[in-house]
Amino acid sequence: MRRLASYSLMVLLISSCATFGFGKSLIVTGESLKALGEQFVQVAGIYKQGCDLVVPRTIQQPQCAAFRTFGTHFQKSFPLTVQLWEAARSGNDQAMQGKIEDVIVDLATALSSFAVAVIQAGGK
Protein backbone atom coordinates (compact mmCIF):
# COMPACT_ATOMS: atom_id res chain seq x y z
CA MET A 1 0.00 0.00 0.00
CA ARG A 2 2.79 2.41 0.93
CA ARG A 3 4.60 1.64 -2.31
CA LEU A 4 1.41 2.38 -4.28
CA ALA A 5 1.09 5.73 -2.48
CA SER A 6 4.71 6.52 -3.32
CA TYR A 7 4.20 5.72 -7.00
CA SER A 8 1.01 7.76 -7.22
CA LEU A 9 2.80 10.62 -5.47
CA MET A 10 5.62 10.46 -8.03
CA VAL A 11 3.09 10.59 -10.88
CA LEU A 12 1.47 13.64 -9.29
CA LEU A 13 4.85 15.32 -8.84
CA ILE A 14 5.77 14.70 -12.46
CA SER A 15 2.46 16.09 -13.68
CA SER A 16 2.90 19.15 -11.44
CA CYS A 17 6.36 19.76 -12.86
CA ALA A 18 4.92 19.61 -16.36
CA THR A 19 2.45 22.35 -15.44
CA PHE A 20 4.84 24.59 -13.54
CA GLY A 21 7.78 25.99 -15.43
CA PHE A 22 10.45 27.68 -13.39
CA GLY A 23 11.90 31.12 -13.77
CA LYS A 24 10.44 33.93 -15.80
CA SER A 25 8.56 31.60 -18.13
CA LEU A 26 6.18 30.33 -15.43
CA ILE A 27 2.57 30.29 -16.51
CA VAL A 28 0.20 29.64 -13.64
CA THR A 29 -3.22 28.39 -14.61
CA GLY A 30 -6.28 27.41 -12.66
CA GLU A 31 -5.43 23.78 -13.43
CA SER A 32 -1.89 24.10 -12.10
CA LEU A 33 -3.22 25.67 -8.90
CA LYS A 34 -5.76 22.87 -8.55
CA ALA A 35 -2.96 20.31 -9.05
CA LEU A 36 -0.85 22.00 -6.39
CA GLY A 37 -3.74 21.90 -3.91
CA GLU A 38 -4.32 18.22 -4.69
CA GLN A 39 -0.63 17.49 -4.30
CA PHE A 40 -0.68 19.13 -0.86
CA VAL A 41 -3.63 16.97 0.22
CA GLN A 42 -1.88 13.80 -0.94
CA VAL A 43 1.48 14.66 0.66
CA ALA A 44 -0.23 15.72 3.90
CA GLY A 45 -2.05 12.36 3.98
CA ILE A 46 1.22 10.48 3.64
CA TYR A 47 2.81 12.55 6.40
CA LYS A 48 -0.24 12.03 8.64
CA GLN A 49 0.05 8.29 8.12
CA GLY A 50 3.82 8.16 8.62
CA CYS A 51 4.00 10.64 11.50
CA ASP A 52 0.84 9.97 13.49
CA LEU A 53 -0.94 6.76 12.56
CA VAL A 54 1.69 4.09 11.99
CA VAL A 55 3.74 2.58 14.81
CA PRO A 56 6.68 2.44 14.52
CA ARG A 57 6.80 5.80 12.78
CA THR A 58 7.87 5.60 9.17
CA ILE A 59 8.89 9.27 9.00
CA GLN A 60 11.43 10.76 11.40
CA GLN A 61 10.06 13.25 13.94
CA PRO A 62 12.21 16.22 12.78
CA GLN A 63 10.79 15.77 9.27
CA CYS A 64 7.26 15.47 10.71
CA ALA A 65 7.72 18.70 12.68
CA ALA A 66 9.05 20.51 9.61
CA PHE A 67 6.09 19.36 7.53
CA ARG A 68 3.61 20.40 10.23
CA THR A 69 5.09 23.90 10.19
CA PHE A 70 5.01 24.01 6.40
CA GLY A 71 1.49 22.56 6.32
CA THR A 72 0.17 25.30 8.58
CA HIS A 73 1.86 27.92 6.41
CA PHE A 74 0.53 26.34 3.20
CA GLN A 75 -3.04 26.10 4.50
CA LYS A 76 -3.02 29.78 5.45
CA SER A 77 -1.20 31.22 2.45
CA PHE A 78 -2.37 29.08 -0.48
CA PRO A 79 -6.05 30.17 -0.55
CA LEU A 80 -5.05 33.84 -0.22
CA THR A 81 -2.42 33.48 -2.91
CA VAL A 82 -4.98 31.93 -5.26
CA GLN A 83 -7.37 34.83 -4.61
CA LEU A 84 -4.63 37.37 -5.31
CA TRP A 85 -3.63 35.50 -8.47
CA GLU A 86 -7.24 35.54 -9.69
CA ALA A 87 -7.54 39.28 -8.96
CA ALA A 88 -4.24 40.07 -10.72
CA ARG A 89 -5.22 37.92 -13.70
CA SER A 90 -8.68 39.51 -13.94
CA GLY A 91 -7.18 42.98 -13.66
CA ASN A 92 -4.43 42.10 -16.15
CA ASP A 93 -1.81 43.27 -13.65
CA GLN A 94 1.31 41.59 -15.06
CA ALA A 95 3.65 42.86 -12.34
CA MET A 96 1.44 41.55 -9.55
CA GLN A 97 0.93 38.26 -11.38
CA GLY A 98 4.69 37.81 -11.56
CA LYS A 99 5.11 38.40 -7.83
CA ILE A 100 2.29 36.02 -6.98
CA GLU A 101 3.64 33.39 -9.34
CA ASP A 102 6.96 33.58 -7.46
CA VAL A 103 5.10 32.78 -4.22
CA ILE A 104 3.31 29.88 -5.92
CA VAL A 105 6.59 28.48 -7.23
CA ASP A 106 8.08 28.72 -3.72
CA LEU A 107 5.12 26.81 -2.26
CA ALA A 108 5.31 24.18 -5.01
CA THR A 109 9.07 23.80 -4.60
CA ALA A 110 8.83 23.37 -0.82
CA LEU A 111 5.98 20.88 -1.16
CA SER A 112 7.91 18.90 -3.74
CA SER A 113 10.90 18.77 -1.39
CA PHE A 114 8.73 17.26 1.34
CA ALA A 115 7.30 14.77 -1.16
CA VAL A 116 10.75 13.74 -2.36
CA ALA A 117 11.93 13.32 1.26
CA VAL A 118 9.08 10.96 2.07
CA ILE A 119 9.61 8.96 -1.14
CA GLN A 120 13.32 8.61 -0.38
CA ALA A 121 12.58 7.53 3.21
CA GLY A 122 10.22 4.86 1.88
CA GLY A 123 12.94 3.45 -0.33
CA LYS A 124 15.28 2.75 2.60
Q: What is the residue extent of each domain of the chain? A: 2-19+27-122
CB 98 within 8 A of CB 82: no
pLDDT by position in tens, the chain (length 124)? 454 444 444 444 444 444 444 444 456 888 889 999 999 999 999 999 999 887 888 899 999 999 999 999 999 999 999 999 999 888 988 888 889 989 999 999 999 999 999 888 764 4
- DSSP category for residue 24: G
CB 89 within 8 A of CB 97: yes
